[in-house]
């Protein structure tokens, strides 16, 4: 990034900054607060997807258990900030703590699977995610730690000084409901994660990850410490997963193992793949589209059926997931490099296609 920004780019930055700042008012005014909430979730998913993108997109380590780190962050916040144990630590302690725990679990998972690649790695990480979920589901007896399938209730909202993000705040005569307040908090953190991810990508570490992804043996011959660089990818990916988890916990006020199913891991992976693996803009786009599109479908499918057929033929939830599954297949067949592919990946796909054409 040696080149200075030109005035056009600066203009674009300022414009998009302003757009992001007024977004909740536009969305909230036009569609209501429930949609602001969905936008908040989109930001959480952007953070998650960017975290997973470090592991899968940059380092090429296929991780199907990423949601476990989200869960670790969420449960850390929930246990240390709810009446469950009667502990009410402030968020600036619990969220970093949750992130650190998640990073620790990332290394814990990363160490045994250092030698694995591809599908094997996918299955083991999937198993790891399930183990974490099984423990959350069952650690309510004989000592009640996680409260089992019922989950943990009444989690503290985030409090900054005297301001409590869990209840509306009056600012210049404007009453801002919690969804707006969390939007700005999430926005700030998302921007931090985006900057972190893009700085990492263009750093020495990011180049080492690319080398690792392309050819592990060659990378190690070039003097890259494969073990450390892989563990770093797992830890940094898990770190942002953990932060997102803590925020989710505070935002939602409730966590249960159900939120951390395999399907969520797959969803986040799908965001990356559909958006354009390895490309930060693509991943953000994928996360936003895959969070918003199902919600639109939820609002559309039901009424559409009532209008055209006069009755509900397919349960909207069912139809939504079916479309999601089909979309995953179709996307892979039609445009496997994603909506906004990274330059490098695009070139790879082109090479592969040409090679296949020559062969066939």
Partner 1 sequence: MDIFFQQILNGLVLGSIYALIALGYTMVYGIMGLINFAHGEVVMIGAMVCITVVSTLMHSGVDLPGWAIVLIGTLVAIPVCALLGFVIERVAYRPLRGAQRLAPLITAIGLSISLQQIAILIWGRNYIPFPDLLNADTVSIMGASITKLQIMIVVLCLVLMIGLLVVVEKTKLGRAMRATSQNPAVAGLMGVNVNTIISATFMLGSALGAIAGVMVATNYSQAHYYMGFMIGLKAFTAAVLGGIGNLGGAVAGGILLGIIESLGAGYIGQLTGGFLGSNYQDIFAFMVLILVLIFRPSGLLGEKMADRA
Q: Are 283 and 57 in contact (CB under 8 A)?
A: yes
- Shortest separation between residue 186's beta carbon and partner 1, angstroms: 28
**Would you say 24 or 237 has its CB closer to partner 1?**
237
**Would you say 12 or 134 has its CB closer to partner 1?**
134
**Would you say 202 or 335 has its CB closer to partner 1?**
335
Report the distance separating Cα 5 and Cα 152, nearest Å. 47
- Shortest separation between residue 6's beta carbon and partner 1, angstroms: 36
- Shortest separation between residue 62's beta carbon and partner 1, angstroms: 7
Q: Are 56 and 212 in contact (CB under 8 A)?
A: no
Burial of 3 (0-12, 13-18, 19+ CB in 10 A): exposed
- SS3 state at 243: helix
Report the distance separating Cα 156 and Cα 165, nearest Å. 10
**Would you say 169 or 262 has its CB closer to partner 1?**
262
- Shortest separation between residue 336's beta carbon and partner 1, angstroms: 5
For residue 226, the surrounding DSSP H or E stretch is helix 226-252
Rg for the chain (alpha carbons), in Å? 21
**Would you say 4 or 329 has its CB closer to partner 1?**
329
**Would you say 4 or 141 has its CB closer to partner 1?**
141
**Would you say 85 or 120 has its CB closer to partner 1?**
120
**Would you say 88 or 344 has its CB closer to partner 1?**
344
Which token pair is 43? 């930001």
| CA distances in angstroms from 119 to 17, 60, 164, 252, listed in the order given | 40, 12, 45, 34
| CA distances in angstroms from 70 to 83, 98, 139, 169, 350, listed in the order given | 21, 9, 18, 28, 35
- Shortest separation between residue 274's beta carbon and partner 1, angstroms: 9
Binding site for partner 1 (CB under 8 A): 62, 112-113, 115-120, 122-124, 126-128, 130-131, 134, 137-138, 141-143, 262-263, 266, 269-270, 273, 277, 314-315, 318-319, 321-322, 324-329, 332-333, 336, 348-349, 352, 356, 359
- Shortest separation between residue 187's beta carbon and partner 1, angstroms: 30
- SS3 state at 171: strand
CA dihedral 95→99→102→104, nearest 10 degrees, is -130
Report the distance separating Cα 102 and Cα 184, nearest Å. 24
- Shortest separation between residue 18's beta carbon and partner 1, angstroms: 37
- Shortest separation between residue 117's beta carbon and partner 1, angstroms: 7
């Amino acid at each position: 990034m040696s080149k200075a920004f030109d005035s056009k780019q600066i203009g674009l930055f300022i414009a998009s900054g302003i757009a992001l700042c007024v977004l909740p008012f536009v969305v909230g005014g036009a569609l209501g607060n429930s949609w602001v909430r969905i936008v908040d979730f989109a930001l959480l998913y952007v953070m998650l997807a960017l975290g997973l993108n470090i592991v899968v997109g940059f380092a090429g380590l296929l991780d199907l258990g990423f949601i476990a780190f989200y869960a670790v962050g969420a449960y850390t916040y929930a246990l240390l900030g709810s009446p469950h144990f009667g502990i009410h630590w402030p968020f600036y302690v619990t969220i970093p703590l949750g992130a650190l725990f998640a990073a620790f679990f990332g290394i814990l998972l990363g160490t045994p699977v250092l030698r694995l690649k591809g599908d094997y790695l996918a299955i083991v990480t999937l198993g790891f995610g399930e183990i974490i979920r099984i423990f959350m589901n069952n650690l309510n007896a004989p000592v009640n730690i996680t409260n089992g399938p019922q989950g943990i209730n009444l989690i503290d909202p985030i409090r900054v000084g005297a301001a409590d993000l869990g209840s509306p705040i009056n600012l210049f005569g404007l009453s801002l409901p919690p969804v707006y307040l969390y939007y700005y908090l999430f926005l700030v953190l998302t921007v931090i994660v985006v900057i972190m991810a893009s700085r990492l990508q263009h750093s020495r570490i990011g180049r080492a990850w690319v080398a690792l992804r392309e050819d592990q043996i060659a990378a190690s011959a070039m003097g890259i410490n494969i073990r450390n660089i892989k563990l770093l990818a797992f830890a940094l990916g898990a770190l942002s997963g953990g932060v997102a988890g803590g925020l989710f916990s505070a935002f939602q006020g409730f966590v249960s193992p159900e939120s951390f199913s395999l399907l969520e891991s797959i969803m986040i992976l799908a965001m990356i793949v559909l958006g354009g693996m390895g490309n930060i803009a693509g991943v953000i786009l994928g996360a936003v589209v895959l969070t918003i599109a199902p919600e639109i479908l939820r609002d559309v499918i039901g009424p559409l059926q009532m209008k055209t057929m006069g009755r509900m033929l397919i349960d909207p939830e069912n139809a939504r997931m079916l479309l999601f599954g089909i979309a995953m297949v179709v996307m892979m067949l039609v445009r496997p490099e994603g909506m906004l592919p990274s330059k490098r990946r695009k070139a790879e796909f082109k090479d592969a296609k040409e090679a296949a054409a020559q062969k066939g």
